[in-house]
Structure 1
Amino acid sequence: MNEIDLRRFDLNLLVVFDVLMVERSVTRAAERLGRTQSAISHSLSRLRSQFGDPLLVKGGVRMQPTAFALDLIEQARPMLSGIQRVLSPTQVFDPAHSQRVFRLAVPDFALALFAELLARVRKEAPLVSVEWTTPRAPTLLDVAEGQVDLAILPSELQWPQSVAGEAIGALGWRCFGRRDHPAFSEWGPANWARWPHLAVRIGDNVRSPVNVAAAAAGLTRTIAGWVPHFPAIAPILARSDLLATLPLAAMADVVDAYDLASTEVPFAIAPLPHAMVWCSGRSRDPGMIWLRDRLRPIARRTFAV
């Protein structure tokens, strides 16, 4: 890719690129932006030249993005939203008429939380949009830079000085397996350690709260498999002899649906405290205050031990 000179880069090209990634059509993008097809094609050509990548290629009815384009739009959209917020009035927020887009980073098991929040937002602010992303390693930096409006993260993480937050509760732990799993007939530490486990790959699993607590109890967990996200756990447990030690909130909505059993962890493991965090420089933003007030009670119910 050619080195980009920001002094000469036209940010309007990213606006065109954003619309092209949604529409996947030069014609539809031109209609949406109120410009000619020739102008949109010229913008796409400039973007291709600037980034040294075709970005969008012909592929049937709709143009298909390259891998680079998918990565680029993931990085560009938060920046465009941030620029829009900076250039928009910050002291006025009218839920009934606002078209603001809020970006949340919330664990991927929080389906009920997001559904309830979205229903309330739709009722009070029908033109507001909420984008759900899952937390990742640099999420706190994204919050500090305003690329993520609100995040729900473990409280033990070290926050940058530019991040503010409040406690919302903690996650209690349970053990899960298929309902007729033989381990549950004589449940205890020995059976917990005897049977292989399924785990979610989040950071360094060796230092996970489960492993730390098990080691303190003189136990070792054998992990037979890892999955990338919580929703994959239930269907695998239902079809195997694997166990999983997880936050109760991660499985509350799927235990009955997959005919799973849930029981207490057979050793001491402390609840995992969580916090709702945001950029401290935007603490007085009326829109952010409005969103925090709506997320807070829902989050506290979800993260109640």
Structure 2
Amino acid sequence: MRFNHLDLNLLVALDVLLEEQNITRAAERLHMTQSATSGVLGRLRTFFEDELLVQVGRKMQPTPYALELAKPVREVLLTIRSSITTKQVFDPASSKRNFKLMASDYLITVLFSQVIQKIHDQAPNITFDMIAPSDADLLVRGEIDLMIVPERYIIAGHPSQLLFEEDYVCVVWQGNTLVGDHLSLEQYMDLGHISVGLGRTRHLSIEDWFMNQYGFNRRLEVITHDFNTLPQLVIGTQRVATMHRRLALLYAQYLPLRILPAPVHIPPLREFMLWHRSMDGDPMHRWLRERIQEFIARVDAAKPSIAKRDTFHPK
């Protein structure tokens, strides 16, 4: 199909070329040979009267005009996908939709493992790709359908909805001889801690917050890469892990753990569901969001509580 003498299929190739900035990788994604992909780039250069990608050493870099084209090209493709190629009548029982969801291992464990199970009963042919938190631009580029993130990671210009609030508790091994059924601030600071380092930069989950609010750092003895290993790493040690309540309660059913109120006041974590604005009216996408919200509402209604006492607040 052509529009103003432009083969619209070339826009798909242009989008991939501008993202990969590499002929070989772009060819793999487009399921084309390198020579054919180079030919497509030549046709694009002719139409736009611009080099679009230029070789600089061993890398290709987009021209200024190519950088201007990147966003509108992606927006056009997303609009076509959501409003033209997507069926507006959604039958869960027969749909073969694939959803790409970005969420932490904590959320997969306490939320999506059960949501997917429930969805299978109504839509057995729907499939899921669970993607670890990484580049939020994946949502901006429309490469994922949904992401669940803390409030600070909300992306302006795209719809979002509060899913739930989560507080933090302290977890120790049942055999920990340094802690009884109550954890004081002094004990908390004397214990060795286990924390999570997230992403490529190994950003520690709540260390910055501790320093900013209380002016002290915890004594970190173990840093792991995901939330699910936190409760496992306290077993057989005198260490403590500060972690999400839902995850702690889940693991306490299977491991010899004690769950204690945190001796410091940690504001609750607010988890938001985000999606690309082009998906806002997609009936299949909306159906999935509603199923997630329904599940959270049922879980929250039955959530057990842990008493909060002797909690230290900064002056």
Query: TM-score, normalised to structure 1's length?
Result: 0.68
- Alpha-carbon distance between aligned partners in 2 of 1:3 and 1:248, rounded to the nearest angstrom: 45
Q: Quick one: which amino acid aligns to residue 165 of structure 2?
A: A
| 208 and 288 in structure 1: CA distance in 2 versus 1, 3 angstrom threshold | same
Q: Quick one: which amino acid aligns to residue 192 of structure 2?
A: P
1:117 corresponding residue in structure 2: 115
1:4 corresponding residue in structure 2: 23
Q: What is the SS of the residue equivalent to 1:212? A: helix
| 171 and 15 in structure 1: CA distance in 2 versus 1, 3 angstrom threshold | same
Q: What is the SS of the residue equivalent to 1:130? A: strand
- Alpha-carbon distance between aligned partners in 2 of 1:207 and 1:235, rounded to the nearest angstrom: 18
* Cα distance, 1:123 vs structure 2: 1.3
* Cα distance, 1:198 vs structure 2: 0.5
Contact persistence 1:210–1:245 (CA under 8 A)? no
| 301 and 271 in structure 1: CA distance in 2 versus 1, 3 angstrom threshold | farther
1:188 to 178, 184, 187: 184
Q: Quick one: which amino acid aligns to residue 177 of structure 2?
A: P
2:52 corresponding residue in structure 1: none
- Alpha-carbon distance between aligned partners in 2 of 1:206 and 1:238, rounded to the nearest angstrom: 24
2:147 to 139, 145, 151: 151
Q: What is the SS of the residue equivalent to 2:275? A: strand
Contact persistence 1:201–1:227 (CA under 8 A)? yes
2:295 to 294, 298, 303: 298
2:127 to 104, 126, 129: 129
* Cα distance, 1:205 vs structure 2: 7.4
1:174 to 169, 172, 189: 169
Q: Which runs of 5+ in 1 are unaligned?
A: 17-42, 52-81
* Worse overlay, 276-285 or 235-244: 235-244
2:229 corresponding residue in structure 1: 232
Greater gyration radius: 2
Percent sequence identity is 20
1:91 aligns to 2:95 (yes or no): no
Q: Which runs of 5+ in 2 are unaligned?
A: 1-19, 39-77, 306-315
1:160 corresponding residue in structure 2: 156
Within 5 Å, which residues of 2 pair with 1:9-24?
14=29
| 118 and 223 in structure 1: CA distance in 2 versus 1, 3 angstrom threshold | same
| 49 and 199 in structure 1: CA distance in 2 versus 1, 3 angstrom threshold | farther
* Cα distance, 1:264 vs structure 2: 0.5
Q: What is the SS of the residue equivalent to 2:155? A: coil
- Alpha-carbon distance between aligned partners in 2 of 1:131 and 1:261, rounded to the nearest angstrom: 34
Query: TM-score, normalised to structure 2's length?
Result: 0.66
